[in-house]
Amino acid sequence: MRKPNEVHPLAGTRILVGRARHQASALSAGLRSLGARVIEIPFIEIRRPQSFHALDDALKNLKSYDWLILTSVNGVNAMWERRRKFRLTRKHFKHLQIAAIGPATKSALLKSGLKVKMVPEEYVAESVVKGLREK
């Protein structure tokens, strides 16, 4: 016979989830299924920038770049959505070496049809620099 805490090991535990609202639900649901009381307070809000000038300029000049480094799923989604304005397809990104910070970012890139060359050992932007030094 299972004890109640084996089924709900987080029973009696309060957990603060600070993810952006549209990304918190899956994590919160998983924690609740383990018995936790979850409080969602987004620490960040994902918004469109006031200007897409820098991104548009980079996308228009994609051939002049060697590497594309994306640090979040939100960044992948924003870039991939914006590339439509210039009718860019996967083939326009084929020459690039692509780095992803973390497995979720890598997964988002793969879903977009892009090949990821590097995921640093630590999921922070500074680890990319170390990884690039080793290439």
Domain count, the chain: 2
Statement to judge: residues 75 and 106 lie in one domain: yes
Statement to judge: residues 68 and 22 lie in one domain: no
pLDDT tens digits, one per residue of 87-125: 999 999 999 999 999 999 999 999 999 999 999 887 766
pLDDT tens digits, one per residue of 39-55: 999 988 888 899 999 99
47 inside domain: no
Range of the domain at 91: 53-133
Statement to judge: residues 23 and 83 lie in one domain: no
pTM above 0.75, yes or no: no
Distances (CA, A) of 35 to 5, 12, 13, 17: 9, 7, 8, 15
**Dihedral (Cα; 41, 47, 49, 52), 10-degree rounding:** 140
- The pLDDT of residue 132: 72
